[in-house]
Every structure is written in structure tokens, then in C-alpha cells.
Amino acid sequence: MSAERRALWIGTYTPGSDPGGAGEGIHLVWLDPATGALTGGGVAARTDGPSFLARHPGGHLLYAVNERAEGGLTGFAVGADGALRELGTVPTGGSSPCHLAVHPAGRHVIVANYADGGVAVHPIAENGAPRVACALLTHTGGGPDAARQAGPHAHHVSVAPGGRHLFVCDLGTDELRRHPLDAAPTDSRIVGPGGGTPVAARLPAGTGPRHLAAHPTGHLYISGELDSRVHVLRWDGAAATAVPLVAVPATTTPDAAAGPNHPAELALSPDATRLYVANRGADTIAAFEVGPDGADLRPIAEVATGGARPRHFALVDGAFLVVANQGSGDLTVLRLDPATGIPQATGHRLELPDPVCVLPV
């Protein structure tokens, strides 16, 4: 891979996904690390609705959800300069998968099925292809928003700090779910027996937990898609509970703060001193200063992305934020001030239909 530019995979909505879009699968884009300019945009792999992407820790494999009524998980072998070769697709046992994570041990892919709230655990075959799920974690419940919370909606999966539990952000039930993980996972079973209710924390009714980021101290940050706040929790791995501490507005833009804003992605800077949040009503990235112990957030800036409905973004080399603006059908680039961590517009933009995920190669 060329040292002069950085490759990025872009997941899109496609004609075969639900919701449908004009993307063609996983696209490949190049970032100039000197200027932030974007080029390329061709198709690296054609697959239905790859709305979220995850790399294998070995770097040689990529996995994508297929967000459609009959959910799918597709695996790819990674070649030179981000080229992809499909290895196979398996059903996720649910509907509308929207997020996934590869277990750090590299032997399982975990998928969140949004529509029915189930979470599928897929072993990885020796050749890297995903296999049929060995576990399907279901849930029940709902929330006060009749349109969005009629039932459970798993929207994020990740391994908890300490590695002994699996986190699930459930937008439909206003819960952070947790499931035990085997200390030494095998090809046949990753999820431990658990017992009792699989809930680490209950957030205020109508929160709509979407995505999660974890601080090195164990503090957690959850974007509330429905209440437009960032929730801070303290994780206790021994008790397998998370204590809500405080919630701060995700945006201070007046029009968006007064109406639907629907924050989406959030991510920590590499040194964990800044938290960035994408606001789809305000069309901004909000930046927060993170206190030394991880418990405190202080808003320090909010910057327009230059596009509409920023669904997702990626930090690239700690220097840039590359933003997928789903509503305007483009990628835009913000430069991070090296002294303050505040995003700044670069003016660089690349048209790309229905972008919904950005992942550095």
C-alpha cells in the first residue's frame, strides 16, 4: 500500500438493501495525508447493504453486515491496496443487521440485528469465511416512543473493558445489555451461561441508546439517538453493571437542540482526551474535552460537516475526521487541530451515493 495516501473502505446502502440506496457495495477511497483531499470512490466489492464494516484483528479479513429484511453477514479477504475478495455470506438469524464486531481473539464475528433485537455470534472458518451462528441472543421489551421503541432494537455490539462481557446497546428498550463471554472461547461457543437479566444499565426512558465508546478507565459513553444526549456511565466489570453518572446535550445548535437531532456515531481520540459525536439534525461534529478520570465531558466546539445527516465518521491517523454524510451523498474531511483537537473544515469533499460507514484499511 502506498505510503503517500491512506485507503478507506466506505459502506453504503444499495438497491438490494433495506432501506435501499444508490451505492454499489463497499467503495474504496483514498485520503491524502498532507492535504486531506479525497480521491477514488470505485467499488471494492459488490454486496447488499454493507452499512457497517469491521476488520479482523489480523488485518487480513473484513466483515460486512448485509442490512436487509433477511439479514446477512459477508466476509472478505483483504488484498493489496484494500482490494477485497468475497469469501461467503451467511444469514444472521434476524432482520436488518446494522452493526458488528470481531472478537479480539479473532475466532468469532458478533452481529446486531436491529429489527428484532437479536444478536448473532458467528464462528470464523479456517479460510476466514463466516459460519452459521453458534448462538443467537434474543431479548424482549420496549420503550415510550411508539414509532421507534415497540420492541428491542440492538444497535451496537462490542466487547466490554476487561474482555469478560459482550455489550449490546438496545435502542428499543433503553438498556445497555451485557452477556458473559467465555475466558477461552472455542469454535463452538463464545457466550457463557450468564443467568439472570442480561442488563448492565437502564437508561432514562426514551434515550434510544445507539453507539458506545469506552475510555481506558472503564467509563462508557453512549449516544442517545432519541434524547439527543451523550450518557456517561461507570463500568464495574466484577459486578457486570454500569452506573449512569451524567448526560450532556449532544448539540448546542439552537434549531437542532430544540427538535429531532438523532446523534449517531461517537468516538474517542487516540489519547482519550477528546470525544467526537456526529449530529444528524445539526449536521455537525461536536467535540468534548474528556476529564482525566473519564467521568467528565466538557463541550469545546461544534463544527459543520459540510454535508447533511452525518451517519458515521472515522478518525484517520489522529489527524483527520472523514465523515459519511448520508443525506447529501458525500464524504467530507475535517482536520483536527493538533493542539486543541478541535475539528476544522478543509473544504475537501467527494461525492459518493448513500455512504453510511467509514473504515480505514
What pLDDT is stored for residue 254 in this prediction? 83
69's grid cell: 429484511
Domain ranges of the chain: 6-360
Q: Going by CATH, does the domain composed of 6-360 fall within 3.40.640.10?
A: no
pTM above 0.85, yes or no: yes
Q: Comparing C-alpha atoms, which of 328, 325, 322, 331 is closest to residue 360?
A: 322
Strand partners, 330: 325, 351
| Pairwise CA distance, residues 172 & 334, whole Å | 32
What pLDDT is stored for residue 184 in this prediction? 57
Q: Comparing C-alpha atoms, which of 203, 210, 264 is closest to residue 232?
A: 203
Helix, strand or coil for residue 81? helix
pLDDT digits (tens, 9 = 90+) for 271-283: 999 999 999 999 9
236's grid cell: 464495574
| Pairwise CA distance, residues 288 & 310, whole Å | 17
Per-residue pLDDT in tens (0 to 9) along the chain, 361 residues: 445 899 999 999 999 999 999 999 999 999 999 999 999 999 999 999 999 999 999 999 999 999 999 999 999 999 999 999 999 999 999 999 999 999 999 999 999 999 999 999 999 999 999 999 999 999 999 999 999 999 999 999 999 999 999 999 999 999 999 999 875 555 445 555 455 679 999 999 999 999 999 999 999 999 999 999 999 999 999 999 999 999 999 999 988 777 789 999 999 999 999 999 999 999 999 999 999 999 999 999 999 999 999 999 999 999 999 999 999 999 999 999 999 999 999 999 999 999 999 999 9
